[in-house]
């Protein structure tokens, strides 16, 4: 069996841990999460892990694209749900899924702030 099929794959656990570490009211990119989990370049895998994740407590909605937009297609079920959760946390999201911060200013390791710079 390939490790990737193992639900207890430590790398998956690392990804989930990185997602859980995102403070409420803030957001992070898929690539950021991947790097934080020690898996640089595996943003796609992060997305897949989130899609498969079953933990209702997982703050998956705090993970966005690197350009600060919601990854789901606008008006899709996932999009609406994610936007709703972000708004509930005080994160500003426009109707087309854009958050306040398009890109991190300098430190790629830092999380994007809630709102006003």
Partner DNA sequence: CATATGACGTGGG
Partner DNA sequence: CCCCACGCCATAT
CA-to-CA dists, residue 58 to 21, 24, 35, 106, angstroms: 10, 11, 18, 28
Please tell me what DSSP assigns to residue 69. B
Kindly state the smallest distance separating residue 18's Cβ from DNA, in Å.
13
Query: Tokens 């994610």, residue?
Result: 82
Asked if 56 touches DNA (CB under 7 A), the answer is no
Site string for DNA, 64-93 (x = CB under 7 A): -xxx---xx-----x---x-----------
Half-sphere exposure of 99 (CA within 13 A, CB side): 35
* DSSP class per residue in 86-111: HHHTT--B-TTSBBS-SS-SS-TTSP
Kindly state the smallest distance separating residue 31's Cβ from DNA, in Å.
3
Q: Which of 20, 38, 44, 87 binds DNA (CB under 7 A)?
A: 44
Q: Which of 16, 22, 36, 45 binds DNA (CB under 7 A)?
A: 45
Residues of the shown chain interacting with DNA in the complex, contacts defined by CB under 7 A: 2, 4-5, 29-32, 41-48, 50-51, 53, 60-61, 63, 65-67, 71-72, 78, 82, 108
């Amino acid at each position: 069996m390939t490790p990737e099929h193992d639900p207890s794959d430590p790398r998956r656990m690392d990804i989930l841990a990185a997602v859980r570490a995102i403070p409420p009211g803030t957001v992070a990119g898929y690539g950021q999460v991947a790097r934080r989990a020690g898996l640089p370049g595996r943003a796609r895998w992060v997305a897949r892990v989130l899609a498969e994740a079953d933990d209702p407590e997982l703050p998956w909605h705090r993970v966005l694209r690197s350009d600060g937009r919601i990854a789901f297609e606008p008006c899709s079920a996932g999009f609406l749900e994610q936007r709703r959760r972000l708004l509930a946390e005080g994160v500003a999201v426009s109707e087309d899924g854009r958050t306040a911060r398009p890109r991190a200013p300098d430190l790629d390791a830092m999380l994007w702030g809630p709102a006003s710079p």
